Amino acid sequence: MNYSALIDRQRAYFKSNQTRSLKARKQALTDLKKLILEHQTAIETALFNDLKKHKEEAYVTEIGTCIAEIDFALKHLKGWMSPRKAHTPLMYFPGKSYMLAQPYGVTLVMASWNYPFKLIVGPLIAALAAGNTAILKPSEISAHTSKLIAKLFESFNQDLVSVVQGGVEQTTELLKEKFDYIFFTGSTMVGKIIHKAAAQHLTPCTLELGGKSPAIVDQHTNLKVTAKRLVWGKFLNAGQTCVAPDYILVHHNIKEALINAIKDEIINFYSENPQSSSLPRIISDKHFRRVQGLIDGKIVFGGQTDAKDRYIAPTLIDGVTLNDKIMQEEIFGPLLPFITFKDVSKAIEIINSMAKPLSLYVFSKQKSFIEKIIANTSSGGVCVNETIMHMTSAYLPFGGVGSSGFGAYNGKFGFDTLSHLKPVMKRSFLFDIPQKYPPINKSKFNFLKFALKRLS
């Protein structure tokens, strides 16, 4: 495997300036949209074959989201590309300042298998909008979608977008090459490998990682709506969502009531027999065994598994302690453990004793409770009285902090992430402050000290 020819080809194309104009970027995004729409059925089939994801869920969480993101970028691109005015302090007059968003060059987009189409195409939209070329490396675990992505882009401008398929071996080779930006979505463990490889070339990167996202439920909440939103966010894609509520911290007074309300909603959404419902399956036998291994004896609902079908029922687990295996790693499956607290400060202590999560959910009718949680914890994002929806807004950046990653995307944030925001200051020849030039005597120095205080 030698990927340097592929990268050289994209770099030559980038250097020819053909990716930079508004027209070229809009054309690339329009071509991408056309490609998706023309192959919508094939994408739905691949997602079903990988995850038994039904076409409605596939559209809402992957295909439709990408179309919406492209439309949003097409609508706003001109504005995003325009020079951004900046204030010029008095000391620099006459002059003007602005920032120019410029593309990095050849980008590498790598993704995980859980939303295998969206997690490749989402960053690609940002890369193309920002005027870059892109090499895509989908996850080999979602093999059907990975193959389809490779096939679809054969008909695309290969100088602009090309696909590399494969697992660790191929990716290790690929990462030896010099990229101008790496956008990685995946686990914290592999994120460290990517960061190390990027460091060899001083390549900037975004790491969209995972973690254990808590949902804190106060005793003063709307129990029915809370249960409904938790069940929706947790069991979407069978819990294989980076921002799925990983575990529940519930006020001890309402634990039984919350568990019962959640049971009711699971039945409402997925029937008494979720195996025959639209619930997706675990991606692979390896992950099936991993998630199954986290189920222990404290099951209060669900617990059924079927290895041949890679099916794990929505499962509620009570009486969990922080030392249990299920609390030691990201679950990434349809298991929901419960831990109780009596005082909000205990809930905060538990959250802060663990790695910084990608998302945090808080359900409460009390403003003070909500604000205390937000102010005293650190997470990639927060969603109050809801799950997941904060990450789908084009007006909010989506990304992690600490172990859950760094950098962000969505709408203009993605464009900015994949652009270098270049500051430009233009001065005139008209007026020159003589005091700044050496030799600096006392009066010049006093003037400079005075001027420094007036930089704003």
Draw the binding track, 233-252, toward ligand NAD (x: CB under 6 A; -: no contact). Answer: ---------x----------
244 vs 344, beta carbon nearer ligand NAD = 244
163 vs 259, beta carbon nearer ligand NAD = 163
Q: Is 69 a catalytic residue?
A: no
Sort strands 95-103 and 84-86 into parallel, antiparallel or unpaired: antiparallel
Q: Which residues pair with 163 in a beta bridge?
A: 136
Q: How far is the CB of 240 from ligand NAD (least distance, A)?
A: 8
Per CB under 6 A, contacts with ligand NAD among 318-377 are 330, 332, 358
Identity of the residue numbered 56: E
186 binds ligand NAD (CB under 6 A): yes
100 vs 190, beta carbon nearer ligand NAD = 190
193 vs 223, beta carbon nearer ligand NAD = 193
User: How many residues lie near ligand NAD (CB under 6 A)?
Assistant: 28
Q: Which of 67, 91, 100, 193 binds ligand NAD (CB under 6 A)?
A: 193
**Cα torsion 288, 289, 295, 299: sign:** positive
Q: Which of 187, 278, 284, 304 binds ligand NAD (CB under 6 A)?
A: 187
What is the spatial distance between Cα 279 and Cα 261, in angstroms, rounded to a whole number?
A: 19
Per CB under 6 A, contacts with ligand NAD among 265-304 are none
Q: How far is the CB of 301 from ligand NAD (least distance, A)?
A: 24
61 vs 221, beta carbon nearer ligand NAD = 61
Q: How far is the CB of 310 from ligand NAD (least distance, A)?
A: 15
Q: Which of 208, 246, 265, 318 binds ligand NAD (CB under 6 A)?
A: 208
105 vs 400, beta carbon nearer ligand NAD = 400
Draw the binding track, 100-139, toward ligand NAD (x: CB under 6 A; -: no contact). Answer: ----------xxxxx----x-----------------x-x
Per CB under 6 A, contacts with ligand NAD among 150-169 are 167-168
| Segment near ligand NAD (CB under 6 A); pick from 9-17, 153-161, 182-190, 343-351 | 182-190
**Which pair of structure tokens corresponds to residue 387?**
């799950």
Q: How far is the CB of 399 from ligand NAD (least distance, A)?
A: 7
Catalytic residue among 62, 208, 265, 330: 208
Q: Which of 4, 16, 21, 172 binds ligand NAD (CB under 6 A)?
A: 172
CA dist 425 to 86, 92, 246, 283, Å?
9, 9, 47, 52
| Segment near ligand NAD (CB under 6 A); pick from 2-10, 13-21, 37-45, 207-215 | 207-215
386 binds ligand NAD (CB under 6 A): no
SS (H, E, C) the chain: CCCHHHHHHHHHHHHCCCCCCHHHHHHHHHHHHHHHHHCHHHHHHHHHHHHCCCHHHHHHHHHHHHHHHHHHHHHHHHHHHCCEEECCCHHHCCEEEEEEEEECCEEEEECCCCCCCHHHHHHHHHHHHCCCEEEEECCCCCHHHHHHHHHHHHHCCCCCEEECCCCHHHHHHHCCCCCCEEEEECCHHHHHHHHHHHHHCCCCEEEECCCCCEEEECCCCCHHHHHHHHHHHHHHHHHCCCCCCCEEEEEHHHHHHHHHHHHHHHHHHHCCCHHHCCCCCCCCHHHHHHHHCCCCCCEEECCCEEHHHCEECCEEECCCCCCCHHHCCCCCCCEEEEEEECCHHHHHHHHHCCCCCCEEEEECCCHHHHHHHHHHCCCCEEEECCCCHHHHCCCCCECCCHHHEECCECHHHHHHHCEEEEEEEEECCCCCCHHHCCCCCHHHHHHHHHHHCCCC
171 vs 315, beta carbon nearer ligand NAD = 171
Q: How far is the CB of 264 from ligand NAD (least distance, A)?
A: 28
190 binds ligand NAD (CB under 6 A): yes
Q: How far is the CB of 210 from ligand NAD (least distance, A)?
A: 2
Catalytic residue among 44, 242, 330, 383: 242
What is the spatial distance between Cα 181 and Cα 106, in angstroms, rounded to a whole number?
A: 7
Q: Is 44 a catalytic residue?
A: no
Q: Which residues bind ligand NAD (CB under 6 A)?
A: 110-114, 119, 137, 139-141, 167-168, 171-172, 185-187, 190, 193, 208-210, 242, 330, 332, 358, 400, 405
- Which residues are known catalytic residues? 208, 242
